[in-house]
């Protein structure tokens, strides 16, 4: 008697059902709603969870050092100044890199640590998202793509860092910084005036 094909078929359906359920369970970030939780590893291999920072403002910054738009903000010191400006105990700055290892912009942890040190970057944690799961759940499209989460865990801003969409560092002086505005308004207990904007920069180098 030939083996019944039902167990194999059931296994295939089970795998498919599991994949569908996992996809359905993946939260999608939406301003005004609770930000999707995530856990990623930092450059030293330590797990960092967004949920651990409930009660504080959290800034998420999507990063790729090979991007000219990112270089605009780091070579000028603008991003580092912001990271240090909000270094107080009520704000956490998480920099996330979703570049997949097969892309030319990818740097391994050792090289990335050296790069961040040379740039005097000051995020509270630098997190690797090589599978792109977190980036996709937040809809991160560009580097830099910025998000602000309030102490109750609600996403209150998503979009560009500012309103000057070029690569010239001189633009920064006259730019309206949306992240600063969102943090300052949220910290003052006010609604965020500009809660969304179109991000600009290089595309995130997903797998």
CA of 100: how far to CAs of 1, 45, 131, 132, 207, in Å? 49, 17, 7, 7, 5
pLDDT on residue 165:
97
Handedness of CA 52, 56, 178, 191 (dihedral sign): positive
The predicted-structure confidence for 30-79, as pLDDT tens digits, reads as follows 999 999 999 999 999 999 999 999 999 999 999 999 999 999 999 999 99
Question: Does the structure show a pLDDT above 80 at 103?
Answer: yes
pTM: 0.87
The hierarchical CATH code for the domain 28-203 is 3.40.30.10
Task: Indicate the burial class of 171 (C-beta count within 10 angstroms; 0-12, 13-18, 19 or more).
Answer: middle
Q: What are the residue ranges spanned by the domains of the chain?
A: 28-203
The predicted-structure confidence for 124-168, as pLDDT tens digits, reads as follows 999 999 999 999 999 999 999 999 999 999 999 999 999 999 999
Instruction: State the chain's mean pLDDT as an integer.
Output: 89
30 vs 28: CA distance, rounded Å: 6
Residue 70 φ/ψ, nearest 5 degrees: -65, -40
């Amino acid at each position: 008697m030939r083996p019944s094909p039902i167990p194999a078929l059931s296994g295939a359906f089970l795998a498919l059902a599991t994949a569908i359920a996992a996809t359905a369970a993946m939260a999608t970030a939406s301003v005004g709603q609770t930000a999707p939780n995530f856990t990623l590893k930092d450059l030293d291999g330590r797990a960092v969870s967004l949920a651990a920072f409930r009660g504080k403002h959290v800034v998420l910054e999507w990063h790729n050092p090979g991007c000219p738009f990112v270089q605009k903000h780091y070579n000028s010191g603008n991003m580092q100044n912001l990271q240090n400006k909000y270094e107080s105990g009520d704000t956490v700055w998480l920099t996330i890199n979703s570049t997949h290892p097969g892309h030319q912009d990818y740097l391994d942890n050792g090289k990335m640590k050296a790069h961040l040190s040379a740039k005097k970057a000051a995020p509270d944690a630098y997190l690797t998202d090589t599978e792109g799961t977190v980036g996709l759940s937040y809809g991160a499209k560009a580097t830099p793509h910025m998000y602000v989460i309030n102490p109750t865990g609600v996403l209150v801003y998503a979009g560009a860092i500012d309103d000057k969409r070029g690569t010239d560092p001189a633009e920064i002086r006259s730019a309206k910084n949306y992240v600063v505005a969102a943090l300052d308004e949220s910290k003052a207990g006010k609604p965020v005036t500009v809660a969304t904007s179109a991000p600009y920069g290089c595309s995130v180098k997903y797998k």
